[in-house]
Amino acid sequence: MSATADIHAYTKAEDVFAACAEFLVERLAAAVRDRGVARIALAGGGTPRRLYQLLAHRYRDALDWQAVEFYFGDERNVPLDHPDSNFRMARLSLFEPLGIQPHRTFPMISDQQRDPERDADAYEVALRRWTAGKVPRFDVTLLGLGSDGHFASLFPDTPALAERERLVAVNPVAKLHGHRLTLTFPVFEAARDVVFLVLGNDKRPSLARIRDGLAELPAERLAAKRPTHWFVDRAAARAP
Ligand code: 6PG
């Protein structure tokens, strides 16, 4: 692993979530203090739900949450009110409990009925709105890790891995028999802080590969290219 990976491992899941929450709040508060706004790209999947609940309940007074803009690293090809929607998960576990105004949240609107390419273009415009056309620098991108080494919806052997121009891609994922919308490598490479939240035995082999400095699978390539922060439990961190 050529770039630095700052790994924080805890035995209890609650300690992992608390440590990650502390880190996020510190980074977001600093962004609000220094730039008047903080921008975070949220992770989807199952793992971050408990983290979002913790932020909404234990850290509701830790910063001006109305000065934070919430984006997404990726989204499933389902309506926003579908149980599998990353936006829905964040709305129920974070936005609504914190009373975040809807115009501070930026769903990666994707729906079977809608044209995904048009959604990706629209999200790209939304991102380039605050960067005068350049690659946006999120204050934090929060990510999970797939047991196949994917992050966001950058899965192994998928076309979006090679995307260097677009910030948002429609990524066909054969094993999902469909596509996902995902931010691309340049966005994650440009972020001020990249934070991985990884828990559970099933993530042990992919985390071990990253620790061993391999740089083949998507998350390995990101960790090899730039500094990353890892909040993991011992189940995931133990040697396979
Ligand atoms: C998604 C995610 C994806 C996720 C990993 C880990 O939409 O599924 O963005 O990249 O972070 O698949 O998922 P779990 O946290 O559910 O294990």
CA angle 46, 22, 52 (to 5 degrees): 30
Measured in Å, residue 183 CA sits from the centre of ligand 1 at 14
What pLDDT does 3 receive?
Answer: 74
What pLDDT does 111 receive?
Answer: 59
Distance CA 10, CA 232 (A): 6
- Which three-class secondary structure string do you get for the chain? CCCCEEEEEECCHHHHHHHHHHHHHHHHHHHHHHHCCEEEEECCCCCHHHHHHHHHHHCCCCCCHHHEEEEECEECCCCCCCCCCHHHHHHHHHHHHHCCCHHHECCCCCCCCCCHHHHHHHHHHHHHCCCCCCCCCCCEEEECCCCCCCECCECCCCHHHHCCCCCEEEEEEHHHCEEEEEECHHHHHHCCEEEEEECCHHHHHHHHHHHCCCCCCHHHHHHHHCCEEEEEEHHHHCCC
Distance CA 207, CA 220 (A): 9
Measured in Å, residue 119 CA sits from the centre of ligand 1 at 20
pLDDT digits (tens, 9 = 90+) for 9-45: 999 999 999 999 999 999 999 999 999 999 999 999 9
Of all protein residues, the one whose alpha carbon is nearest to atom 12 of ligand 1 is 146
Residue 2 pLDDT > 60: no
Task: Name beta bridge partners: 228.
Answer: 5
Q: Is the CB of 187 under 6 A from ligand 1?
A: no
pTM of the model: 0.96
Name, in order, each residue with C-beta under 8 angstroms of 57's C-beta and a sequence gap of 6 or more. 97
pLDDT digits (tens, 9 = 90+) for 148-171: 999 999 999 999 999 999 999 999
Q: Is the CB of 196 under 6 A from ligand 1?
A: no
| Cα first-last separation, the chain | 18
Residue 188 pLDDT > 90: yes
Residue located via tokens 């949240």: 105
Chain-wide mean pLDDT for the chain?
Answer: 94
Least confident span in 55-64, 84-93, 103-112: 103-112
Residue 183 pLDDT > 70: yes
Q: Is the CB of 144 under 6 A from ligand 1?
A: yes
Q: Are 186 and 164 in contact (CB under 8 A)?
A: yes
As a whole number, mean pLDDT of residues 69-74 equals 98
CA angle 136, 108, 87 (to 5 degrees): 115
What pLDDT does 1 receive?
Answer: 47
What pLDDT does 238 receive?
Answer: 82
Residues counted in the chain: 240
Of all protein residues, the one whose alpha carbon is nearest to atom 15 of ligand 1 is 47
Residue 113 pLDDT > 60: no
